[in-house]
Amino acid sequence: MAPTGDISIGLIGSQFVARAHAESLHRFVRGAALRAVASPTPGHAARLAEEFGIPQAFTDYRRLLEREEIDAVVVGIPNDLHEKVVVEAASAGKHVIVEKPLCVTLAEADRMLAACAAAGRQLCYAEELVFAPKYVRLQQLVKEGAVGELFLVKQLEKHSGPHADWFWQVERAGGGVLLDMGCHGIEFARWLYDKRPVRRVSAFCSTVRHADRTRAEDEAMLVLEFEGGGRALIEDSWAFFGGMDDRAELYGTEGSVCCDLVQGNAMKTWSNPGYGYAMEKAGSTRGYSFTVFEEVWNYGFPQELQHFVDCLREGRPARETGADGREVLRIIYAAYESAATGRAIELDAFQPAPEMRPIEPWLRRKSGASA
């Protein structure tokens, strides 16, 4: 049964992406009320509550889940905690909006999907790129036939490294840059190709800059081949200098489109200590970067949350679901297998161990190569 009136939301998490959600809900989203925030980090929940006028702040997310007035929770926490929190939220009768990636193993994904289905609650997958205004216009151009038949999607996202220490830890994150940012490009391409099945996956991974910080890859490139034709080329990096680079290109039989998500809305900035997005997202970086204006809006966070809230109010399925997040994760498994073996992976025939983290085959190959 759909809730009546405003959707009361609880926010679980307090760092970069949680703050983007809080700002979006506070400034832009209609029909929702942010009622509570939870974070175990001392002072974080209280600071977010004060900044965005959130009535309740908790250090234990379970206290938030106990609040009967909360209809849905937004989960923006380290990847290895997603399953536990989502399953408990569903058991408490809450709808769930979970940040990317869905989780760190396929077994976790299946348990999350099962828990939400058993509770009759939606599991929404927060892939903001498919809600970013520029990229929504890209899709409209494809739908309108402006580029003819789409045959290639290129998407890249690059910066100098994650903003929180846990991203560097394979056990917590489940992988490196391929998992962290490749998940964006995979779902972006699936969306542009109307979520046709991916037929074949090829990938290349390496650690070129941050071997002192992580065992994971900090550079990745993958190619997706779709049923019925069409390819996607996705490039991701934690080894890029100069702030954030986030672009897409579409090629069709009758035209092409190039779109810069960040720099087209930004101010070229020089800062000795590092400033704006370069500091927040990628660490303190001396030199030129691009300071983004209305970053959360340009990246689609408010539009994404507005869609999810509208779906919950109206009792209809969301555009991006837990099943989409699981399929992205399955493709990521195949990408790491390809990077480990040096061969393309036929997705239909590929059966990874569901409790294994996606990066493990590549780590084994890397360890063997360096032994």
Q: List, for residues 236-246, the tens digit of each pLDDT value.
A: 999 998 778 99
CATH architecture of the domain 7-129 equals 3-Layer(aba) Sandwich (3.40)
* pLDDT class of 295 with cuts at 50, 70, 90: confident
Letter string b/e over residues 145-157, b meaning 16 or more CB atoms within 10 A of that residue's CB: eebeebeebbbbb
The tens digit of pLDDT for each residue in 101-116 reads 999 999 999 999 999 9
Round the average pLDDT of the chain to a whole number and report it.
92
Instruction: Judge whether residue 54 has pLDDT over 60.
Output: yes
* pLDDT class of 140 with cuts at 50, 70, 90: very high
Say which residue, 268 or 311, is predicted with more confidence.
311
Instruction: Judge whether residue 371 has pLDDT over 60.
Output: no
CATH 3.30.360.10 domain locations along the chain:
130-371
Instruction: Judge whether residue 258 has pLDDT over 50.
Output: yes
Q: What ranges make up the beta strands (E) of the chain?
A: 7-12, 32-38, 56-58, 72-75, 95-99, 123-126, 150-158, 198-206, 219-226, 231-237, 245-252, 255-260, 266-271, 287-292, 345-346
What distance, in Å, lies between the first and last C-alpha atoms of the chain? Answer: 57
- Nearest-Å Rg of the Cα atoms of the chain is 20
Looking at residue 268, its pLDDT comes to: 73
Looking at residue 369, its pLDDT comes to: 65
Share of the chain above pLDDT 90, in %: 86
Average pLDDT score over residue span 174-198: 98
* pLDDT class of 199 with cuts at 50, 70, 90: very high
Beta strand 32-38 pairing with 56-58: parallel
Share of the chain above pLDDT 70, in %: 92
Angle at 364 between CA 363 and CA 365, to 5 degrees: 90
Looking at residue 279, its pLDDT comes to: 42
How many CB atoms sit inside 10 A of residue 346's CB?
Answer: 12
Q: Pick the range with the lowest mean pLDDT from 52-56, 258-262, 286-290.
A: 286-290
CATH 3.40.50.720 domain locations along the chain:
7-129
Distance CA 40, CA 276 (A): 26
Looking at residue 287, its pLDDT comes to: 58
CATH number for 130-371 (one of 3.30.360.10, 3.30.540.10, 1.20.1270.360, 3.40.50.2300): it is 3.30.360.10
